[in-house]
Amino acid sequence: MNFKQTAQADFKDTSNVVIGFVGKEEDALSPLPTDLASQVSQWRTAKWVSPKEGSVTPLLRGEGSPVMLIGVGDTLHLTENKLKKAATAIASVLKQSQQKSVTVLLDNLKVRDRTQNWVVTKLVEWTLTGAYNYDTTKSEKNTQYTTEHFLLAGDGEFEEAIRHGKALAHGVNVARELGNLPPNICTPTYLAEQAISLADRYSPIHTEILEEAEMEELGMGAFMAVSKGSDQPGKMIIMHYKGAGDDVKPHVLVGKGLTFDTGGISLKPAAKMDEMKYDMCGAASVFGTMSTLAELQPKINVVAIVAAAENMPSARATRPGDVVTSMSGKTVEILNTDAEGRLVLCDALTYAERYKPQSVVNMATLTGAIVVGLGHHPIGLYSNDEGLQKDLVAAGQKAWDRAWPMPLWDDYREEMESPYADLRNIGQGPAGGSITAAIYLSEFTKDYTWAHLDIAGAAWTSAKSGATGRPVGLLTEYLLSKVG
């Protein structure tokens, strides 16, 4: 689909659907031709046209372009969430109308405290993510939109905003697709293949894969403690995005890629265990962000590390009570084999030191505790650096993919003490479980500026829509803010 700006909408072309917005306020109708506007005004009084958020009213017209009005509620000065609903409604029009071109009337569509370019970026992004529909493993495919031209009618220069929105949507949909794929397909090996194909497609990216033998040699005993119980070989996937000179130190992203998490010997209950295919959504967001960067090509260096493994119970699996030595040299008493994300991550985080990074941000569906604490909206954010924390909060606000700061206080450190090792892999009880997980990780990140995003509440929903693609938006805005 081709996105383009146009000064004025064509209301005569019958192969073009015009999409306008209707609120309770009168001014909404001004971009419509006068005769149509006055007709709509009457219909609205008669309640034939609904200003209800997300509703779509097709206007019956004798001739010219079909017109669809999307309800946006009280006022055309929207909130971000209302704009997202409107974009989702546009996506549903795309899927249903099967017209060659669609024109969206941007005049009057405003979001409080946001520029018109921001509105365009998000409208493009959310329309394209709204049109995504998983069908890869279904024999009968979903209806895809056939629209070739997507026109944005309004004043301004939107070319860059459109490019940005398309790249974000591409990355978010890459992350959603990887998240939604079943765990018998999306294995650590599959993820490694995706990294190789990303490097084949985009010249600024190159990929290296560390196999288990190399990880053993590097002393990644914590990673191997998770991976060794599975017949699927674990992979440490490293992708380099090079947009700046060799002397520019990289920002590093680290993603938890548990392609399936049974809990290991500390087996999870059966109910909803299928959802543990989403335990690689941190990794998925890394792939999504790298895809977005590859399209936008900012002048920045990024290294992305994906710790990909499967957590299975078997005769080779780690026992509760086992003590292992991590790559950092620290020994860890593994008291619960279901707290495995932090085990694969701690070795990836130690590995990241070699890049002398400007910052390291890791993403992990790490704890159920963060879902209890924050629900499904904000991402739990922990950092050992106030500046980085502020930057990530701001990036989340910009992307409308928000994170909320959590305490990384040493008060919690005592809970991680073990009589048998340098630290244990879980706190003393369920209280503050997301925080003690972050405390564990912080033991391995003392040498650089670091943040941890606990995305267990944000990365997927139990609903049909599945993986959300978060936090591709936040990460992209953060990295773009570091350019030059």
Q: Which of 95, 242, 249, 268 is catalytic?
A: 268
CA–CA separation, 153 and 164 (whole Å): 18
Residue span binding Zn ion (CB under 5 A) among the ranges 62-70, 226-234, 258-266, 409-417: 258-266
To the nearest whole angstrom, how small is the minimum distance from the Cβ of residue 364 to Zn ion?
10
Tokens matching residue 374: 């924050």
Give the rounded distance of the alpha carbon of 14 from its chain centre.
37
Sole binder of Zn ion in the list 107, 338, 347, 401 (CB under 5 A)? 338
Indicate the residue among 345 and 408 with the shorter CB distance to Zn ion. 345
- Residue 242 annotated as catalytic: no
Q: Which of 342, 398, 424, 482 is catalytic?
A: 342
Q: Check binding of 454 to Zn ion (CB under 5 A).
A: no
Indicate the residue among 239 and 309 with the shorter CB distance to Zn ion. 309
Q: Check binding of 212 to Zn ion (CB under 5 A).
A: no
Q: Check binding of 261 to Zn ion (CB under 5 A).
A: yes
Q: Check binding of 177 to Zn ion (CB under 5 A).
A: no
Nearest CA-CA partner of 244 in 277, 316, 293, 182: 293
φ and ψ of 449, to 5 deg: -75, 125
Considering Cα of 158, then 159, then 164, then 166, what sign does the dihedral take?
A: positive
To the nearest whole angstrom, how small is the minimum distance from the Cβ of residue 348 to Zn ion?
16
Indicate the residue among 54 and 313 with the shorter CB distance to Zn ion. 313
To the nearest whole angstrom, how small is the minimum distance from the Cβ of residue 186 to Zn ion?
17
Give me the 414-443 binding string for Zn ion, x by CB under 5 A, dash otherwise. ------------------------------
Indicate the residue among 168 and 426 with the shorter CB distance to Zn ion. 426
Residue with tokens 């879902």: 371
Contact 338, 268 (CB under 8 A): yes
Residue span binding Zn ion (CB under 5 A) among the ranges 75-83, 217-225, 321-329, 339-347: 339-347
Indicate the residue among 261 and 333 with the shorter CB distance to Zn ion. 261
To the nearest whole angstrom, how small is the minimum distance from the Cβ of residue 51 to Zn ion?
46
To the nearest whole angstrom, how small is the minimum distance from the Cβ of residue 387 to Zn ion?
31
Indicate the residue among 261 and 415 with the shorter CB distance to Zn ion. 261
Angle between helices 159-180 and 116-130 (to 10 degrees): 30
- Residue 402 annotated as catalytic: no
Q: Which residues are catalytic?
A: 268, 342
Interface residues with Zn ion (CB under 5 A)?
261, 338, 340
